[in-house]
Amino acid sequence: MKNILDDKYFMREALKEAKKAYEIGEVPVGAVVAIKNNIIARAHNLTQTLNDVTAHAEMQAITSASNYLNGKYLIGCSLYVTLEPCVMCAGAIFWSQLDRIIYGASDLKRGYSLHGDLLHPKTKVFRGELEKESIDLLQSFFKSKRK
């Protein structure tokens, strides 16, 4: 029997994606998109690998989920991402009309929330899910890079 899945479950899946980024030398950020307890997109940061500043985990997850649903609006969907989205990703989230975004760590330098209210008024935001795990992963990554 399938257990009822909660935000922690989906954020753990996003963290698995972030770890994949870590392993290939990318800033470890991961994301999943879920609808009705099903994951329909998974992605991790690939900006170095693809030489493309637009290849953030959220952007790829949005494109992938739209592809899965065969529609550009992600109504009814939740986006889980380990780090607070940047301005670019917040803009994409706005256009996608996602129901909910749930993020782990706040981004005190590049987080969208530093620039006021960029999201669609109907998108609900939940902060701090598995925050410590997300921060630990990011800090471990930047520490290893400084060595």
Query: What pairs with residue 77 in β-bridges?
Result: 35
Which of 1, 116, 146, 147 is the binder for a second copy (CB under 8 A)? 116
Do the beta carbons of residue 46 and residue 29 sit within 8 Å?
no
- Paired tokens of 4: 């009822």
- Residue 40 CB, nearest distance to a second copy (Å)? 14
Contacts with a second copy by CB under 8 A: the residue count is: 28
Q: Is 131 annotated as catalytic?
A: no
- Residue 131 CB, nearest distance to a second copy (Å)? 23
Alpha carbons within 13 A on the beta-carbon side of 26:
23
Give dist(CA 29, CA 122) in Å, integer.
25
Site for a second copy in 22-41 (CB under 8 A): none
- The contact set with a second copy (CB under 8 A) reads 47-48, 51-54, 59, 62-63, 66-67, 70-73, 86-92, 94-96, 115-116, 118
